[in-house]
Amino acid sequence: MRRVVVTGMAGLTSLGDSLDTVLPALHAGKTGIRYMNEWEQYVDMSTRLGGPADWFSTQKLYPRQQMRSMGRVAALMVHTAERALEDAGLRDDPVVKSGRTGVAAGSSYGSTPATLDFVSFLEEGKAGKLNATSYIRMMSHTAPVNMAVFFGLQGRVITTSSACTSSSQGIGYSFEAIRSGAADIMIAGGSDEFCPTMSMVFDRLYATSTHNDDPAHAVRPFDQGRDGLVIGEAAGVLILEELEHALARGATPLAEIAGFSTNCDGAHISQPSKDTQIHVVRQALDIAGMAPSDVDWISGHGTGTVTGDVVESQATAAVFGDGVPFHSLKGHFGHTLGACGAIEAWLGIEMMRQGSIPATANLKNVDPKCADLDYVMGDSRKVGQGSFVSNNFAFGGINTSLVIKAI
């Protein structure tokens, strides 16, 4: 069976786009969440909190002709993919255009401004705001398609527009494509641009945090005082490659994707299922040929919602017991939706290499309804450098689990 390794990676969040910047911030307990003064006009939305990557600008990012088909969500992805390819030593390698390199990536949605132009057309009957690329910027597969065009990819394009599992499925489907021999290299990941509509989705479900007076401590995964999530903005990309292919060109593998599984609850759109979460994690471990005791630590989904955290903790405990360190990153930069799986893999790989994981932000008192786990609280924790499991769960009951190990 072909082995799949990571040869390049990049990411960006509200805390920055460099591992040298983001990781120290995480270990220091810092967050990128702020009060959104510009949301005062949204009188029917309870939350005023967000984690936008304010520092990232699309102005003059690329020539105008290349930017015509990119909304912000696609620009985030293309920019991050370019950095990941550079990290892998593949940015100008002809193999990228050989037909053996593809992309599996996605976002929750396309770009909102283009959607508003279509809404304007429906309301006013005038199409003056629309142009030839409006739909390209709006469509749910705008990010992977723009990457394919930008880099001249001629391999497969797999669109993973599955909300919070978009990028973890992107990594997983890339793993499967390379493992089966359908590709040698895959660009995998996800992104989501910051938009108040995404916050409103969860606000209507009473799932957003309303700790508006304390942004830095608003997201409290697994804590008794948690009251919901905060939406963040991010992009994350991993370059996955068949091991022998990577070694033949002199690349240095950073980690190995050892197992992946995805399934669906098939029962409820927004209420998670413990049983299917248990199954997806066990199947990923089986594919990796590993036992729960082989795992050094777990990167949890941990959004900070009342129900989601309880179910996830119970599923995690059913698989691993209480002997494996468990943490979540979303308290630091919010729930980045389509980007979260790739961001957590990007940061997780470097944490594994360094042998240290940060505490879950703002976790002080574990909710008694949550299962007994070895929650990482207060201070960073030294961990083994062999492997970790990264889990994500999405609307529609879509579950993913990735097993990543050192090589």
DSSP string covering 215-250 = GGG---TTBTT---B-BB-EEEEEEEEEHHHHHHTT
Query: Looking up tokens 């574990």, which residue turns up?
Result: 366
Q: For residue 406, which of 330, 295, 319, 317 has the smallest C-alpha distance?
A: 295
Mean pLDDT, rounded, for 264-276: 95
User: Could you give the 3-state DSSP secondary structure of residue 318?
Assistant: helix
Q: Which residues contact 154 (CB under 8 A, 6 or more apart)?
A: 97, 98, 99, 101
Mean pLDDT, rounded, for 247-255: 98
Which residue type does 165 have? T
At residue 278, does pLDDT exceed 90? yes
At residue 140, does pLDDT exceed 90? yes
Instruction: State the helix-helix crossing angle for 340-354 and 166-180, rounded to 10 degrees.
Output: 70
pLDDT tens-digit series, residues 176-192: 999 999 999 999 999 99
CA distances from 214 to 8, 48, 115, 173, 330 (A): 36, 11, 32, 39, 16
pLDDT tens-digit series, residues 15-27: 999 999 999 999 9
At residue 1, does pLDDT exceed 90? no
Record the pTM: 0.98
- Check residue 360 and report its DSSP letter: P
- Check residue 13 and report its DSSP letter: B
Confidence of residue 138 (pLDDT cuts 50, 70, 90): very high
Mean pLDDT, rounded, for 2-8: 98
The per-residue b/e assignment along 362-380, b for 16 or more CB within 10 angstroms, e otherwise, is bbeebbeebbebbbbbeeb
Active site residues: 164, 301, 335
Domain ranges for the chain, please list them.
4-405
pLDDT tens-digit series, residues 308-338: 999 999 999 999 999 999 999 999 999 999 9
Mean pLDDT, rounded, for 63-87: 97
Confidence of residue 128 (pLDDT cuts 50, 70, 90): very high
pLDDT tens-digit series, residues 341-396: 999 999 999 999 999 999 999 999 999 999 999 999 999 999 999 999 999 999 99
Q: What is the phi/psi pair of residue 253, to 5°?
A: -60, 140
* Domain 4-405, classified CATH 3.40.50.2300, yes or no: no
Determine the pLDDT at residue 392. Answer: 98
Question: Are 404 and 390 within 8 A, CB to CB?
Answer: yes
Q: For residue 228, which of 378, 401, 362, 52 has the smallest C-alpha distance?
A: 362
